[in-house]
Chain A
Amino acid sequence: MNYLKLKSTFENYLFILPAVVIFAIFYIIPFIWVFQLSVFEWDGISPLKTAIGLANFKEVITGDPIWWQSMLNAGYITIIALTFQNAVAFFLALACDREIRFKNWFRVIFFIPPVLSEVVVGLVWQWILDGNFGLLNGWLTKIGLAHLAKYWLSDPATALNTVAIIHCWKGFGWGFLIFLAGLQGIPRELYEAARVDGANAFYCFKNITIPLMIPVIVLVGILTILGTMQAFVLIMAMTGGGPAYHTQVPVLRIYASMQGASRFGYACAQSLIFGVILITISFIQYRFSGKQSR
């Protein structure tokens, strides 16, 4: 009997074994190594690793203006995504929550940009925004606004904003779908009751829709911040971080420290500092959302 029980427990472990092995090798070990490597100066190839204590961290914090510039850039894109992108997503969801025609068509179309890869989106928009032969400048010239035509992605004055807008274009569909699901979860009776009491549309929006949507808005906010701060493939495809670091973002810097400068320890230190910042932000947001829903 005891033998059978042991065999059964063993069998239970066999079910999770493949998942645990893959996860341990490709998630847990790299996770631990990031901490270990961060205290070394190492080029990634040579057998010699020099332990230098916390010097890497010190250098990231005090001696790396480009790193903090990249953090500011990512923060800037995030703020645009939080306000502009999520506002558009919210109003689209409001519009689609009403009784309108072709509702499903709109819903299907709005989620096309999110299912495309960042490389495809980046390269297509790079072609449209091309300074010499791009469609956008072609149109501007045609309608007599040639003075507005720009090298959108290689002019330092416009590069970051352009990248931010394309990032919003790619991402608003997520927020839209989550907002729409939230709106559809609001009981219709609330609106009907308010109508009977003589409330107008704006009053309903302000006193029913907004309060009930706060948890969803916070959720989309957290997802937007975490997603946008870590976004980089789209930028890699559109500008590669240029012109002259104007569209650099933290993950690109980590990759550059590793591949370009061959400083693996330094790259790990950067990524740990970045990880701590991200966890702090989402923790603050989480606390905030906890208060709101109570």
Chain B
Amino acid sequence: MKSAAYYTAKKITFNTFVYLFLISVALSCIFPLLWMLSSSLKTQETIFQDMSLIPRELHFENYMRAWTEGGFGRCFLNSIFYTTSVVFGIVIVSSLAAYAFSRFKFPGKNLIFYIFMGAMMIPIPGSFVALYVLLNKLHLRDTPVGYILCMINVGLSTSIFLLKTFFDKLPHELEDAARIDGCSKWGIWRHVALPLARPVLAVVIVFNTLNVWNEYFLALLIFDSPRLMPLQLGLMKLQGEFVTQYPLLMSGLTITALPIVLLYLLMQKYIVKGVTQGAVVG
């Protein structure tokens, strides 16, 4: 029979290893962001020599320069505009459709729903080639409208799925009561269904916000004019220039990453919910 001390020692050693593992991975997750922040406060001269995490002098003017000279101010506003428009569009369009799929009866309902769901399962990695041709034909290339519509389409299937599963589980009583009181279908959707769906709408909003804010490739396909570019495109453009201005680039990266990290920290409850629910879809 081994002594109690042996077991305690064994447990402590084991736990130490577990914590070391967790902490080192956690540090690797945070450190690149800290290094980005630190680099954004150095100058083009000191950035190549100063390897310290906390710079000797803090050059906050880099952010001013990135905002104006680097063009990140305009990109930032563009990104805000695209993100809010797309998320608003997705909420309206997908909640209307999900509500109809869940509550109404009409010919072809199941077929249409399965086509939407099929889009989530079937990968067509190169459909952007045809999308590019189509947008050219419709004269929607290099326009905000073209980008916003494309991005609404990207988020549609998953959002409809999440909302429909929610409506399917929702009891009908409140809607029946509203109907008896003479409320139209649109009124019930607007004043009963949408407010009740608030928890799942939060998931839809948070996920699509992350998705649109972080989107790069469709923006690359669609936008040629610098004045229309969102942040991700502005970053790649600055990086591609002949001599990369690292402090400026790092300021731009911080401007891009900070809102999304803040949103994540505030809304992480919904993100965890979305990942675990969304995984069931795939």
Contacts and interface: CB of A to CB of B under 8 A. Distances in A.
B213 A26 contact: no
Interface stretch (B55-63, B94-102, B174-182): B94-102
B153 A27 contact: yes
Nearest to A103: B22
Interface string B32-56: 1101100100000001100100000
Nearest to B232: A119
Interface in B119-157: 119, 122-134, 149-150, 152-153, 156-157
Given A34-B130, A178-B279, A116 B257 contact: yes
Given A12-B106, A124-B32, A18 B93 contact: yes
B67 interface: no
A223 interface: yes
Contact of B33 (A33, A112, A250): A112
A219 interface: yes
B260 A258 contact: no
A237 B246 CA distance: 15
Contacts of B39: 127
A196 interface: no
Given A30-B134, A124-B33, 20 more contacts: A12-B104, A12-B105, A13-B106, A16-B112, A18-B97, A19-B93, A19-B156, A31-B127, A95-B21, A109-B30, A110-B25, A119-B236, A123-B235, A124-B32, A138-B51, A181-B276, A232-B217, A236-B236, A251-B126, A275-B124
A108 B268 contact: yes
A153 to B, nearest CB: 13
What bracket does the count of chain B residues touching chain A fall in? 35 or more
A279 B123 CA distance: 7
A250 B125 contact: yes
B129 A135 contact: no
Contacts of B84: none
Interface string A100-130: 1000011111111101111111011101100
Contacts of A77: none
A222 interface: yes
Interface of B: 15, 18-19, 21-22, 25-26, 28-30, 32-33, 35-36, 39, 47-48, 51, 92-94, 96-97, 99-101, 104-107, 112, 115-116, 119, 122-134, 149-150, 152-153, 156-157, 160, 185, 189, 210, 213-217, 232, 235-236, 239, 246, 249-250, 253, 256-257, 260-261, 264-265, 268, 271-272, 275-276, 279, 282
Nearest to B30: A109
Given A117-B216, A181-B276, A110 B123 contact: no
Contacts of B25: 88, 92, 110
Interface string A212-255: 00000001101100100010110011000000000000110011
Given A16-B97, A119-B236, A100 B126 contact: no
Nearest to B113: A16
Shortest Cβ-Cβ A-B pairs, 4 listed: A271-B126, A117-B214, A15-B100, A33-B130
Contacts of B30: 109, 112
B22 A92 contact: yes
B236 A274 contact: no
Given A15-B97, A110-B26, A177-B272, A29 B134 contact: yes
A108 B261 CA distance: 11
30 contacts: A12-B100, A12-B106, A15-B96, A16-B101, A16-B112, A18-B96, A26-B153, A30-B131, A37-B129, A37-B133, A44-B133, A88-B25, A95-B18, A100-B19, A106-B22, A108-B268, A109-B26, A115-B264, A118-B214, A118-B216, A119-B214, A127-B35, A127-B246, A135-B35, A135-B51, A181-B279, A222-B282, A267-B126, A268-B130, A275-B125
Interface of A: 9, 11-13, 15-16, 18-20, 22-23, 25-34, 37, 44, 88, 91-92, 95-96, 98, 100, 105-113, 115-121, 123-125, 127-128, 132-133, 135, 138-139, 142, 169, 174, 177-178, 181, 219-220, 222-223, 226, 230, 232-233, 236-237, 250-251, 254-255, 258, 264, 267-268, 270-272, 274-275, 278-279, 282
Contacts of B260: 115-117
Contacts of A177: 272, 275-276
